[in-house]
Amino acid sequence: MTVATQDCNFERSGSRSSYRRDWVRAFRALRRLLANKDDTQHVFEIMRALSGRSELDGYSRLLKSPRGGRLAYERVELVQRLMDRSRLDAFAPGTVGAAYAEFTARENLSAEGLAEESRKGVAAEEVDEPHPLAWYGRRIRDSHDLWHILTGYGRDGLGEACLVAFSYAQTRSLGWAFIALGLLSRAGDTGLPVRRAIIEGYRRGRSAVWLPGEDYEHLMAEPLAAARARLGLGRAPIYQSVPVERRDIYFR
């Protein structure tokens, strides 16, 4: 049976039901983000200002994907799974889940911390709304650090810029493109392929399997190398050619 999502009323309540983009708000948030790339709340502000129909389009695509109907029916809150430390510690060495557990512990990150950043400057009910589109938005938010693991991009400035470009290719949410262009503008003539690495991130996102349609609970039990191969996520040679100690300097 074909699900014609375009004929369904998936609009959310409140201001998010409008698909209008707020460019003034986005520019102001981008200036603040470029002044401090670690102030993640401005990322979410940009995404809210420029998301347009991307949540609706993404959710519609999810329903048409092989696993999407079941995922949408079960509507698992990924943040709850990712905050279960005993579950994370049970993943076998070398798996996606084990790599995620090591990454978040080393970087002092948590899925709930990212969720808290997304609630800043907006009513928490809007972010946590019991609605299919809100759930889909949370799913994209909560998978961010998993995408770091799968793509091999670090949390340095260049790695985040590459993942932003990758995320635009995967989600078609204009906010990601806006942030990527802002970061591109910060990369001067350094003698290193910083701009080309960011463009590489976009191209990798275009060629990879569509990650929002993945069953992350099963994915985390896969060996990381096998998962990357299955998803079309080989090496990022341009990004990896930039010395680790120089990947942050252009984005401070």
pTM over 0.75: yes
Residue 65 in domain: yes
**Per-residue pLDDT tens digits for 105-138:** 999 999 999 999 999 988 878 899 999 999 999 9
For helices 23-35 and 174-186, the axis angle rounded to 10 degrees is 40
- CA pair distance 117, 114, nearest whole angstrom: 5
Residue 7 in domain: no
**Per-residue pLDDT tens digits for 146-188:** 999 999 999 998 999 999 999 999 999 999 999 999 988 877 6
| Confidence (pLDDT) at 231 | 98
190 pLDDT higher than 80: no
From residue 186, alpha-carbon distances to 181, 189, 194 in Å are: 9, 10, 10
Residue 195 in domain: yes
**Beta partners for residue 95, in sequence order:** 223
From residue 10, alpha-carbon distances to 2, 18, 50, 71, 131 in Å are: 17, 12, 18, 17, 8
Residue 18 in domain: no
* CB burial of residue 86 (10 Å; 0-12, 13-18, 19+): exposed
232 pLDDT higher than 50: yes
Print the domain residue range for 130: 27-251
Note the helical H segments in the chain: 23-35, 41-50, 54-64, 68-74, 78-82, 85-89, 96-107, 111-119, 124-127, 132-142, 144-151, 157-171, 174-186, 194-207, 216-219, 224-231, 237-241
Share of the chain above pLDDT 70, in %: 90
17 pLDDT higher than 80: no
Q: Total structural domains in the chain?
A: 1
Place of tokens 């309540």: 13
- CA pair distance 49, 19, nearest whole angstrom: 9
Residue 193 in domain: yes
Residue 15 in domain: no
| Confidence (pLDDT) at 75 | 96
Residue type, 108: N
| Confidence (pLDDT) at 18 | 62
Residue 122 in domain: yes
Using an 8 Å Cβ cutoff, are 175 and 165 in contact? no
Residue 20 in domain: no
**Per-residue pLDDT tens digits for 57-108:** 999 999 999 999 999 999 999 999 999 999 999 999 999 999 999 999 999 9
Q: Please count the other Cβ atoms lying within 10 Å of the Cβ belonging to residue 117.
A: 16
Structure tokens at 167: 């995320």
- CA pair distance 104, 102, nearest whole angstrom: 6
| Confidence (pLDDT) at 126 | 86
